[in-house]
Amino acid sequence: MSKLLLLLSLVALAQCGVFRVPLWRGKSLRQTLEEKGLLETYLQKQQARLGAQDADSKGDREPMRNYMDNEYFGNISLGTPEQDFTVIFDTGSSNLWVPSIYCNSSACSNHQRFNPAASSTFEGTNRTLSITYGTGSMTGVLGYDTLTVYEITITRQIFGLSVTEPGDIFTYSPFDGILGLAYPSISASQATPVFDNMMAQNLVAENLFSVYLSRNGDGGSFILFGAIDSKYTSKGITWIPLSAQTYWQVSMESVTVSFLPIACLGGCQAILDTGTSRIVVPKESLPSIQFFLGATLTGQVSCNAVRFLPDVVFHIHGDHFPVSAQNYVIKQSDGSCILGFEGMDSDLWILGDVFLRRYYSIYDRANNRVGLAEVV
């Protein structure tokens, strides 16, 4: 199954039978640092900072790791006894996979690897798995084992054990694997997704989950399985029916700036994707967005102009969802600023983390809808 772009993460916490966790992606910032020879130094500083975030945690909430405002990821364990992994909680894909001892790719050498021989509850299969993402790919084999996501324990969860992870994208990722949260219809090799097993095994209070993404590198991001946190819905929830039960896909009427339609003219389809860092648009729509926001063709904008830039408004299901320049302008490591929009050869819009940091998002499988609540 092809995912349109790579990214994501979340954090774990339990409250009265409902549970929290984290998400991923990564691209331009890492590439920029690598080109300048600064990647290793930056990663060391970030790891030290993440450790400080964990040390500051209190109570039941495990801090979500917000990595450069670019990746959100959290913890799971597989097997008996437990083998621990960090994963992106990705609403833009449906498969769970982690590196395994069968993998000799460079990406596996510096990540945790699952050893099936060390788990008394592992069940092997003769089925294979192959996933191509927009910025990476993996192949592997499928197996069953006990999965624990914070305090939720799922028996006989099918997952991928990677055999190859080509290229560099996973080599430099701060997480080990990906946990997909989209519908079974797009699951590679028809593997049952994790949340479907949570529902089938009656492990969640309600058949929904919700996501909060922090900004500016702050902690506090989470995924909450089985409930909605009322702290983040004080302005109310806007519910939007899905237009397809594949990705978390909705119909969008238009995109406007200062009341002027600038893209998605006549309507388009969009997905809410915690695994993509930017807002990804059809390639032909990108120049119009750049023009109306005063950016160059490479997406550069003046950092001093951010406070004067207009909102970009997404019109979805008869309602409007503004995203301010504070959300859609990204400050890079060299001090320059760029738009958080990318073009792609597809008609589908991807509302990634740039959009989702503005809205607490709720993914309701019971009613096949998504909810958006503006973050105060």
Torsion sign across C-alpha atoms 139, 149, 90, 181: positive
Question: Burial, 36: exposed, middle or buried (Cβ in 10 Å; 0-12, 13-18, 19+)?
Answer: exposed
SS3 27: coil
Catalytic one of 176, 196, 273, 311: 273
Active site residue 90: yes
- 345-365: b or e for each residue (b if 16 or more CB lie within 10 Å)? eeebbbbbbbbbbbbbbbbbb
Cβ atoms of residues 198 and 111 within 8 Å: no
Cβ atoms of residues 92 and 8 within 8 Å: yes
Catalytic one of 69, 90, 196, 353: 90
Residue among 150, 235, 222, 142 at smallest CA distance from 190: 142
Active site residue 84: no
Cβ atoms of residues 132 and 140 within 8 Å: no
341-344 and 279-282 strand pairing: parallel
* Assigned token pair, 147: 């999965």
- The Cα 28–Cα 118 span in angstroms is 38
- Residues annotated as part of the active site: 90, 273
